[in-house]
Copies of this chain bind each other. A is one copy, B any other.
C-alpha cells in the first residue's frame, strides 16, 4: 500500500511537497507534474484517517434523521448528497427513530469522529449541539425548527397546515379533524397551528378534541384515525405528514373498503367508483403519497420538495465552512405552487 513517503521518494521530492500538490498549494509546476505521475503510477490515495487526525476534521458530514424509512427523508438525503459529494464531502446517514438518546449518541459519534459537520432533523426542541459548535463544527438544523442561534432550513409549517386545511374547506368540508406528529417536533405543532388558524378564519369550530398527536409513522396515522372516528364527529381530516396520511388512508380502507369517498358521497370523475359503506371523509395530506399506484383525485395532497430542502441545507453547511464567523441564518424553504403538476 503506497504511502506519502513512497510517492515522495519516487518523485524525488519531500513529503511536504507531495502534500502541497495534493492540497492545491503553490508548487513548482514541474515538480507538481512529477508528483502527479508518481501518484498515478503508485495508485496512491491519502489515508483519510491520518489526514483527519492531523487536520482535526474529516471530510465526512453526518445527516441525522428521525426515520430513514420515510421517503421524505431519503429524498432529503439525496439532495444533501448531491451537493456534498460535489464539494468533496461524503455523507453518512444516521437514524434516530425520534429517540433523543439515539440522537445524542450519534451527535457524540460525529463529534469524536471529528466529522466536518452535522445536518440534523432534531428529535427534540433541544438537541445537544453545544459540544459540536464549540469545537467549530458546522451544524445545520433542517425540516424542524429549533429556538437557537444556528443555521436552519425549514418550510413555513404554519402556512402548510393552513393551506392543507383550506383545501378541504374549499371542497365543502366543515368539520375537519387533524392528525399531527409528536409535540416534540416543530413541524407537528406548527402545522396543527395552521389547521387551527384556517378553521378560525373560516368561522369554523376548531375543537381540541379533533386534534390528535400521533407519531409521524404509518401506525401513528392508523391508530389516530381509529381513535378519532370513535370519539368525534367529522367529515374530513388533515394528515400533517406523508406517512400519517398513509396510515389514515389505511384505516379508512379498513373501515369502508374503499380509500376515500368524495364529500357528498358522489364519486368524482376519475376517482374510485366503489360503493361507500360508511360516512364520507375527506383527506388532506401535507406531503406526497409515496409509491402510490394510482392517481386518486379525491385525496388532497400538498406536495413538498424534500430534495430541495436537502440541497438548501447542504449549501448552508458549505457556506458555514467557508465563513465560520458569519451570523446564523434561518431559511424558509419554498414549496411547489398549489397548481404545480404532481411529480408522480
Q: What is A's interface to B at a CB cutoff of 8 Å?
A: 1, 45-50, 52-53, 58, 60, 68-69, 71, 74-75, 77-78, 81, 90, 92-95, 108-109, 111-114, 135, 218, 243, 246, 249-250, 253, 257-259, 270, 272-275, 289-295, 344
In the complex, what distance in Å separates the CA atom of A19 from the CA atom of B243? 46
Assess A112 versus B53: contact at CB under 8 Å? Given A68-B77, A274-B272.
no
Asked if A259 and B93 sit within 8 Å, CB to CB, the answer is no
Assess A74 versus B69: contact at CB under 8 Å? Given A272-B274, A274-B273.
yes
What residues on B are CB-neighbors of A250 within 8 Å?
293-294, 344
17 A–B contacts from the bound complex (CB under 8 Å): A45-B108, A48-B109, A49-B112, A49-B114, A50-B53, A68-B78, A90-B109, A93-B93, A218-B344, A246-B293, A253-B293, A257-B270, A258-B294, A259-B293, A272-B274, A291-B291, A292-B293
- A258: nearest residue on chain B (CB-CB)? B294
Asked if A69 and B75 sit within 8 Å, CB to CB, the answer is yes
Asked if B45 and A53 sit within 8 Å, CB to CB, the answer is no
In the complex, what distance in Å separates the CA atom of A135 from the CA atom of B344? 45
A23 nearest CB across to chain B (Å)? 16
In the complex, what distance in Å separates the CA atom of A293 from the CA atom of B48? 46
Asked if A71 and B69 sit within 8 Å, CB to CB, the answer is yes
What residues on B are CB-neighbors of A78 within 8 Å?
68-69, 95
